[in-house]
Chains A and B, each alone.
Chain A
């Protein structure tokens, strides 16, 4: 096992998909099942208690949306930060390159 392979295992480790992924997949799968969807809608219409529950769920979803928005903003800032760090690292590496070459030439005057 060499170091590159170790590094690849680290870099390619499994990552969880974005939050809510499983829910979205299940919802999409559910959307394909027309018959069940229709029967659920019928059941929902028969029950006022379920309507209240749905209203409550909507309020919770809205509140959750606010939290989600803040998370998205934070994620955007983190991405911008990553770009900033990448830009500074590239700049640093190029400045070092120039410095090192100049230093090397200065230290080896006979070869110029």
Chain B
């Protein structure tokens, strides 16, 4: 790397942001890193305002006061919501909140690398720019799997599968910026599992009260594919009384529901890749995103892909921060003249 002149730009705070459908994370060059649930809430009415104050709420606080808030998930379905003013505001608010969490010095310049779901990158690059314009001096926007790949140094002959909540994004790296053909996106991801699970459970236990939030936390705690050693039991209320339900098979079926499509897409992408390097790519598949934490998912995919030959799948160490750390690495490495002015 050419040595950069020491000047103002080195005082700037470099940040990497991972804008996710379910969770958003930030990592900054001052060593701080934080994450929040991608939820933004505005008090619904004057009662709510009296209780919560006239302010915007984020993350867990939103979950807590869900009933008295207008809640927006700014990146539902992997694209920036648009339509009402609140939708557009919510992204900006979320980014502002994330930046405030890493506590930049007052008036410190901020150079931000933002990773977004691949679909959002295509559809609303400008909305992202607008959302961050108030907070950052310079900005680059990249797709989420690319940020992960960059952060892990998997720049050559690697495949990243970022299984988030809204979308599953694929990206093949081959030593250059991935082109359109090297990236693909499926809309079946974590949220889809939740819906499947809710459907299966209400079918089997019509009397029990399950809701999306409960289901999501079940999955995050106990999600698995393949064989399970223990029985999975959860408590849910039937007519107000707690009853224990066995959800082992439902959980497996729901979690496995997204995998055939993922395996097929991965195989297709590898098959289209230069044959000389296919072996290398197959042995360098990296799973990222929240769904990579589902137990047994790597074994399942390895088996599914084994018809193409032996392959090796690894899971990122810390899926929560992999994207943000990758963004930060990118922000740190980016030569000054490559940054875009806001």
Q: Do A and B bind each other?
A: no
- Could you tell me which B residues sit within 8 Å of A by CB distance? none
